[in-house]
Amino acid sequence: MKLRKRMKWIAMLMSAALLFLLMRLAEIQLFFTESFSKWNVNLIQESVKQRTEEVQISDGRGSFLDRSGKPLTVSRKPAIVLFPFLKSQSWPIDEAAAILNISEEELDEKLDNAKKPVILTKNGEGSISKTALEKINKLKYPGIYGVYIEETEKNRLASHTIGMTNQDPELLRKKYPHKDGLSISTKIGTFGLERTFDEFLLPEQDTKLLYHVDGLGNPLFGIDVKYTADANPFYPLQIKTTIDKTMQQELEDILDDHRVKKGGAVLLDIENSSVLAISSKPDVNMASQKTRQNYMLTPMYPGSVFKTVIAAAAIENGLDHPSKTFNCNLNLYGEPGDDKGKLNMEEGFAESCNYTFTSLADELIKKNGSVIEDTAKKLGLTGRVGWEGRLYRERDFKQFYHEGSGSVWGDERDKKVKKAVAQTAIGQKNVKLTPLEIANMMATIARGGEKKQVQIASGIEYKNGTLMASFKDHELPGDTIDHYTAQKLQKLLRNVVTSEKGTGRRFRDLPYDVSGKSGTAQTGRLTKDKKTLYHKWFAGYFPADKPKYALAVVHMDTPEDQAATNAAFYDIVKKVYEIEKNQT
């Protein structure tokens, strides 16, 4: 009796299991063949892929251009594609070898070991030429083709700002639930401009050479190779950035040459506050999430660069009289500790006397408790400065990905604490600004006080080069410094370089006249051998008399004696001069 019961239960369980398997099989083969699982996988397409050999010529994703139309993220290379089935038949190998300047033995060897199509981008003379590509195609033999293959740049320029793509099925379905045609293997932007402009860059169709094979890898439908491509003349789209490719490459090389391991630089076109070059260190490593942080968009201690704000407030409140001097033998707290003598505000700014600006900040706060943050706002330092606005259905489109906002005070009560005011005056305590904001502040001063949002993209173009959308200049909202204040600041910034004791005197022999301000901010961290780590800055603009460029350079977390800030700033200015000279 017990045995019969057990057999009955076993039979029921086996029946249930078989029923489940049948239902699962029906689900896979009958009901959800084109939208299987939560990822909506097209099983028919995926099964065809398993029996297809292909060479992807382009993944169909949109790309980025520099300001003159040069590609930034992809490159087109002439290539010769050889399909494996050639080795099982007679084909004009002698003619192909002669065209490619490769021996027949070498071509045979490449095909003998091939399980997938062979792609040749080099021949006996170097890169495949356009002429060689045309001659190969004139052979008109199935299985060998000359094509232009589009490759994503692995070591792309401005990598933190432009960003990267990756396969992320979960994010793909979350962002685009109604785009059923997108394969789960479609790459999408994970950070940077690739992320912010992702919707415009999604592929409509990729371009490839393909043929179908049987289980042994032999051609299933003869040796006919198919070419699939999107004939749409408008897609994929291209994002035209404001970056100058030559300047970008040189700026990155200079930072590498000077071994700036953490920090970076921002170079702006002053006329419209557009980014010409931008680089953050360390370089992006896709295996590490930490390296994706763009320090040029990250608020950090600005040090004495913030004295520019205190100087602007002092000018607007009549505290900058040349006869008014400060005892610069005292440190920021008014205690003995320096030996610069008595200096007025202009001299104190050039030599970066802390006591001058802590005294002015104290006096300003007593007159008006919000004067420092109000002045910082006038200079565009207490909010995002990247381009924001309406773009089609998106009312608040932001060009920069995860741009931080500057801040001055962490606690309103600090305004009543003398030491906290002193630390704030020299860009410490809770003062944190982004290098992009600081570069834009210099551009604002150079323009006479006119505040503008910073652009990194000038427009979106169709594949054929016609304009789809453009990004107009946007002013930053809020009050601005007046023209008189801007002129006085211009004089102060120039004096930093021209003064015999100015902290920027190193830049006096550059081919451009430079105006700017240095900064040294303690980070509160130490090296292993107990050396204090600093953020070392220099920010300014040039040429001083007819400003065209604003530049901010910061070397983060460096011992003071190892900072490469000034050397990098010097070389970038010099290189910009050489590039401009060659372009004219």
- End-to-end CA separation in angstroms for the chain: 102
CA torsion 39→193→245→57, rounded to 10°? 20
**Interatomic CA distance for residues 185 and 182, integer angstroms:** 8
Quote the radius of gyration of the chain (alpha carbons, Å). 31
Lowest mean pLDDT, pick from 65-79, 342-356, 513-527: 65-79
In this predicted structure, the answer to whether residue 50 has a pLDDT above a threshold of 50 is: no
State which H helix or E strand residue 553 sits in: strand 549-559
Instruction: List the one residue out of 106, 88, 541 whose CA is nearest residue 305.
Output: 541
Q: How confident is the model at residue 74 (pLDDT cuts 50, 70, 90)?
A: confident
In this predicted structure, the answer to whether residue 503 has a pLDDT above a threshold of 70 is: yes
**Interatomic CA distance for residues 177 and 99, integer angstroms:** 49
> Is 490 domain-assigned?
yes
Interval 261-278 mean pLDDT: 97
Q: Per the structure block, which two tokens stand in for 546?
A: 């007819």
pLDDT value, residue 227? 55
pLDDT value, residue 217? 53
Coil, strand or helix at 107: helix
Please count the structural domains in the chain: 3
- Residue tagged active-site, from 183, 304, 352, 458: 304
User: In the listed set 150, 174, 189, which residue is the last one of a domain according to the structure?
Assistant: 150
Interval 45-56 mean pLDDT: 56
Q: Per the structure block, which two tokens stand in for 374?
A: 């109000």
Interval 241-255 mean pLDDT: 98
In this predicted structure, the answer to whether residue 42 has a pLDDT above a threshold of 80 is: no
Q: Per the structure block, which two tokens stand in for 525?
A: 């961290």
pLDDT value, residue 211? 66
CB neighbour list of residue 64: distance below 8 Å, 6 or more residues apart: 71, 72, 73, 162, 193, 238, 239, 240, 241
Q: Are residues 92 and 44 in the same domain?
A: no
Q: Are residues 459 and 552 in the same domain?
A: yes
Lowest mean pLDDT, pick from 46-55, 69-78, 320-329: 46-55
pLDDT value, residue 262? 97
Instruction: List the one residue out of 284, 197, 205, 244 whose CA is nearest residue 72.
Output: 244
Can you give 192-205 as a three-state secondary structure string? CHHHHCHHHHCCCC
Q: Are residues 220 and 274 in the same domain?
A: no
> Is 341 domain-assigned?
yes
> Is 353 domain-assigned?
yes
Q: How confident is the model at residue 321 (pLDDT cuts 50, 70, 90)?
A: very high
Output the domain CATH number for residue 49: 3.90.1310
**Interatomic CA distance for residues 146 and 81, integer angstroms:** 6
Interval 291-317 mean pLDDT: 97
Output the domain CATH number for residue 416: 3.40.710.10
User: In the listed set 150, 184, 211, which residue is the last one of a domain according to the structure?
Assistant: 150
Instruction: List the one residue out of 300, 320, 357 whose CA is nearest residue 484.
Output: 320
Interval 503-510 mean pLDDT: 97
Going along 29-117, which residue ranges are E strands? Answer: 52-58, 63-65, 74-82
Q: Are residues 267 and 128 in the same domain?
A: no
In this predicted structure, the answer to whether residue 268 has a pLDDT above a threshold of 70 is: yes
Q: Are residues 205 and 280 in the same domain?
A: no
**Interatomic CA distance for residues 117 and 115, integer angstroms:** 7
> Is 13 domain-assigned?
no
Task: Verify whether residue 359 is a known catalytic residue.
Answer: no
Helices (H), ranges, 27-129: 43-50, 93-100, 104-112
Helices (H), ranges, 393-466: 418-425, 435-446
pLDDT value, residue 111? 85
pLDDT value, residue 44? 43
Q: How confident is the model at residue 341 (pLDDT cuts 50, 70, 90)?
A: very high
11-36 per-position pLDDT tens digit:
778 877 777 777 766 655 555 545 54
Q: Are residues 351 and 491 in the same domain?
A: yes
Q: Are residues 199 and 210 in the same domain?
A: yes
Q: Per the structure block, which two tokens stand in for 36?
A: 């299987």
In this predicted structure, the answer to whether residue 250 has a pLDDT above a threshold of 70 is: yes
pLDDT value, residue 46? 44
User: In the listed set 150, 175, 192, which residue is the last one of a domain according to the structure?
Assistant: 150
Contact 479, 450 (CB under 8 A): no
Q: Are residues 271 and 196 in the same domain?
A: no
Q: Are residues 408 and 517 in the same domain?
A: yes
Residue 528 CB neighbours (<10 A): 5
> How many residues are listed for the chain in this entry?
584
Q: Are residues 397 and 438 in the same domain?
A: yes
Instruction: Name beta bridge partners: 71.
Output: 65
> Is 124 domain-assigned?
yes
Lowest mean pLDDT, pick from 52-56, 147-151, 244-248, 421-425: 52-56
Q: Are residues 54 and 82 in the same domain?
A: no
Contact 59, 193 (CB under 8 A): no
pLDDT value, residue 409? 97
Domain of 251, in residue numbers: 245-583
Q: Are residues 65 and 82 in the same domain?
A: no
Helices (H), ranges, 258-352: 307-316, 345-351
Task: For the chain, give the mean pLDDT.
Answer: 88
Output the domain CATH number for residue 135: 3.90.1310.10
Q: How far is CA 50 from CA 46, 60, 139, 211, 412, in A?
A: 7, 21, 30, 11, 65
Instruction: Name beta bridge partners: 219.
Output: 213
186-213 per-position pLDDT tens digit:
889 999 999 999 999 988 777 777 666 5
pLDDT value, residue 212? 64
Backbone φ and ψ for 248, nearest 5 degrees, come out as -60, -45
In this predicted structure, the answer to whether residue 507 has a pLDDT above a threshold of 70 is: yes
Going along 432-580, which residue ranges are E strands? Answer: 457-461, 467-470, 515-526, 532-542, 549-559
**Interatomic CA distance for residues 111 and 93, integer angstroms:** 11
